Structures are given as structure tokens and as C-alpha cells.
Amino acid sequence: MRFAIVHSKLLPDKLLHSPEKTYPISSIDHIPVQQTNSSYSYNIELQQQLAGKQLLLDDLVIPLEEIQEHYENGCLIYRKGISIEKNKPICNRCGNKNKHFFAHFPCARCGEQCLYCRKCIMMGRISACTPLISWTGPPAQIDINRSQLSWNGSLSEGQQAASERVVQAINENKELLIWAVCGAGKTEVLFQGIDAALTAGKRVCLATPRTDVVLELTPRLKSVFPNIQVASLYGGSEDRHLNASLTITTTHQLLRFYQAFDTVILDEVDAFPYSVEESLQYAVHQARKQSSSMIYLTATPNEKWQTECLQGKKDFATIPARYHRHPLPMPHFQWCGNWEKGLKKNRLPPTIVQWVKKRLDSNKQCLLFIPKIDKMEKILPLIRSLHPKIEAVHAEDPNRKEKVIAMRNKEIPVLLTTTILERGVTFPNIDVAVLGAEDRIFTESALVQIAGRVGRSAQFPSGEITFFHYGKTNAMIRAKNQILKMNEEARKKGLIDY
């Protein structure tokens, strides 16, 4: 679309009554902002859709004339979808500055060769002539001022201490990292804080990199906050236009938000793709109000964050023990020789065969992590000679869900897996091993997560975790140390009984 500037107002070319010089929005140096007209009767539906968002015209079903009228009455702003700074383009929705992710196309809307961002194209195309639209009129009403929490559970000592820190950070609009071991029960730690925020009339966002986690958290939070509206956002969800007090979302969907939330809680900050995608980190930043609190949750902060915590540069609270007060199982390192070479001759390392046999004999289920799919496909027929019901699963496996359910129902004795099952799954009574723990894919955080699959249930709080390797790596050593330190801290604080 092209705009003209008429009487210090931006005017879309389609609404011009006389010929004027028009430009794509990114070529206009200064975009005039209008004073909010307090007596203007704005469209409540538009307010609901737009408050705290940054949307494209295509996202809105309201006629352009009406949108323009809201702009002229100071209820919304047009921002440039793409700005040019020092001759370099920046996508204002996803923060992309990398020129490889920009391209040109012949654009029917502005009639020029128009530059667009490829990085966030799946959310609708942003190009040099695209305005990003945000609400600047009266804030959308969220009327909550009484306690909403309906939860009868109790927190462990470690959870309670962390929960109090969360409440404090939310009340004081601060940042806090909750470093909670796998199986600590970190979701419950958020309840008091979310309640405090809602009671103060704040808008809360709980974001996570993975859709699975959104689907799992939504019913849980709806049941503990039964009186409020909860929006659940992921690719293809129905709640896109809900202006809810509590929004549970993938980090991806945050690309549509703009200065929306007073409190953002980011779960699994170390998980893919958030950990490697700058655009998602930008999205989280954009979604926060200027004065807001930010809670990060993780079992496995990366090395940089760990250092910042230890140097006192980052405010953090640990939950070093699981809620069932048993220590975390310590990984055991076992050298297994050049297993890849052996595989070429259709041979498995004898230590692995022994390890699996022992579990089959004693009827104990186990997970065996393999670094790559092709290796896993090679191993499966070999290991199946020990038991015909052994299965394998990876990210693109169409039967992934069914296999996880079968594992849970104890129909599968041994499940081979890639890192896809490193987090988010709980099988009550299992041993876990990694074959090829030296592979680069097994980072410190991946290994801590994998070890964290063992001994999660109160009924079966122990189990074995073995890293079979062909040469120890730093990641392996750091993972073991991290687990060791958490157990030490938990003992010191009296959070472990066994």
C-alpha cells in the first residue's frame, strides 16, 4: 500500500480524494502520530483485536476507512513493517537484520519492486510498503481485583522459597531466573505469582518454545484459574483474537504482540528453537510493556547464564531438589569403544548389549538415546534380536505419539530415541542410557535433561543413567558436575531426605 501525507496525517492512497504524491511507508521519514481524541467512540471489537498487538491490515476484518478513522483519532498507530537504517533493512516484527533473509518481489500493492522479510513470512508477508498496526487508544478492560487461584496442592520447601521470589519479582517488575532441577515441579511455583499479577490487574503471558508444552499447560492453568479468560496460542489455534488476562503461547506467536504484557514468564528458555532463534528472543522483548516483569524458567541454563548467575549479574533462585526429596540420579560414564565403526560391520558394543539384556531380564523399561536417525535405523534391527518389541522414535516419525503412549503402557520394553524425548516426557520407572554421548548434539543441557528423565516419580524415585561414550567430552563433565552441585546444595538446604 502507498501513503500520502495530507495535513500532517498519513493517508492511504485508496482513500485519497485528490492526486497527491504517495510513497511506500518505509520511504516516509517521519510518520505523524495523532493526538488521542478522548470523545471519539471507538470500535470495541477493533480495540479487543488490536490491544497489545502488531498486526497487518490483512489480519483485520475491519474496513480500511474505519481503521483510518481510528488512526486520525489517535486510537492506533501505523509503524513501518520494514525500516531502513544506515541503508540496511530491519524487520520491525521479527527483528531480522540479516540481508540473506530479505528479498524483492514485484508488489501489486505499491507497484514497485518491494523488499520483504523472509524470516517471518509464515505470519503473513511484511514488506517495505506494509504498515504494522498497533492500538494506542484507551486500554482494553481487564477487570480483576480479587484472588483467582483455585488450587489446594502444597509446595515443597524448595518450591515455596522460589514461589516467594517469583511473587516479589512480579510485584516489583523485575527479572528473575528460576533454575529448577528436572522434576522439581516448576509449574506450581508460578501459581502464586500469576495470581498476584492478575489480582493487580496485570496481563500475564506464559510463553514456551514448544507447542506440546502449550497444549499441556493450558488445561492445567485453566483448572487453577477457573474464573478468568485464558488464551492458548500456537500455529492454527482458535484464540488469536482473544484479549485474555492470561495468555499461554508459543514464543513464535509472540511475533504478533507489541507492548502487551505486564508479566512474561518464559518456560524452557534453553529449548530449541528459542535458544538459537534471535527473532524469537526479539519477539519476547517486543511483547513486554516497557515496565514489566520477566520470569525465566529452566532446568538447564546455558553456560553464559550460569556464569552470570554465579557472578551475581543475573538475579536467580534455584530449586535444587525434586519435590519427592530424593537426590537426582548421578550419570555413570562408560567407555564403549568406536561404536560407529562396529556398526558398519553390524556389531553393537558388547557393553550396550549387556546393559539392554540386564533390563530385559529384570523387566525394567529403558530409553536409549542415539545421536542420529541413520545410526538409530542401523541399530534397531540389531537390538531387536534381543526382543522383538523394541521400538525407535524420532521427530519426523508419524507414529511418535502412539509410540510414547505404548511406552507409557509398558508395551515397549526398550525405546530407542533421538533427543526428541530429552524433555517433556515422564515414564515412571525407567533406566536411561545414551549411546555416543560424545556426539556434539549432546550438549551439557541435553545431557542434564536426559538424566532428568530418571527417577521422576515419587513411587520410583531412583534409576540408572549411563553415558556410553567413545571419549569423554566437556559437555559430559559439565553435566555431571551440574547435577552433583544441585544435589550438594539440596542437601545443604535440607531438601533431601535420602
- Residues of this chain that interact with Zn ion (CB under 5 A) are 91, 93-94, 96, 107, 109-110, 114, 117, 119-120, 127, 129
Backbone angles phi, psi at 3, to 5 degrees: -125, 150
Whole-number minimum distance, CB 173 to Zn ion, in Å? 28
How many CB atoms neighbour CB 5 within 10 A?
Answer: 17
Whole-number minimum distance, CB 4 to Zn ion, in Å? 15
Question: Are the CB atoms for 266 and 297 separated by under 8 Å?
Answer: yes
Whole-number minimum distance, CB 117 to Zn ion, in Å? 3
Question: Are the CB atoms for 495 and 320 separated by under 8 Å?
Answer: yes
Q: How far apart are CA 234 and CA 215, in angstroms?
A: 9
Nearer to Zn ion, 132 or 490 (CB): 132
| H/E element, 368 | strand 365-369
Cell, residue 310: 554465579
Strand, helix or coil for residue 28: coil
Looking only at Cα atoms, what is the longest distance across the chain? 86
Strand, helix or coil for residue 176: strand
Nearer to Zn ion, 251 or 429 (CB): 251
Class of residue 51 by CB neighbours under 10 A (exposed 0-12, middle 13-18, buried 19+):
buried
Question: Are the CB atoms for 26 and 42 separated by under 8 Å?
Answer: no
Nearer to Zn ion, 114 or 356 (CB): 114
Whole-number minimum distance, CB 137 to Zn ion, in Å? 26
Whole-number minimum distance, CB 107 to Zn ion, in Å? 3
Nearer to Zn ion, 127 or 243 (CB): 127
Q: How far is CA 72 from the centre of its chain?
A: 37
Q: How far apart are CA 149 and CA 486, in angstroms?
A: 31
Whole-number minimum distance, CB 16 to Zn ion, in Å? 17
Whole-number minimum distance, CB 201 to Zn ion, in Å? 32
Strand, helix or coil for residue 143: coil
Whole-number minimum distance, CB 202 to Zn ion, in Å? 28
Whole-number minimum distance, CB 64 to Zn ion, in Å? 16
Nearer to Zn ion, 120 or 162 (CB): 120
Nearer to Zn ion, 96 or 418 (CB): 96
DSSP for 106-130, please give it: E-TTTSSEEEEESTTGGG---BTTP
Question: Are the CB atoms for 88 and 99 separated by under 8 Å?
Answer: yes
Nearer to Zn ion, 112 or 216 (CB): 112
What is the pairing mode between strands 414-417 and 365-369? parallel
Name which of 175, 212, 168 is nearest 189 in CA terms. 168
Q: How far apart are CA 175 and CA 293, in angstroms?
A: 6
Nearer to Zn ion, 7 or 99 (CB): 99
Nearer to Zn ion, 55 or 319 (CB): 55
Nearer to Zn ion, 120 or 421 (CB): 120
| H/E element, 50 | helix 44-50
Whole-number minimum distance, CB 127 to Zn ion, in Å? 5
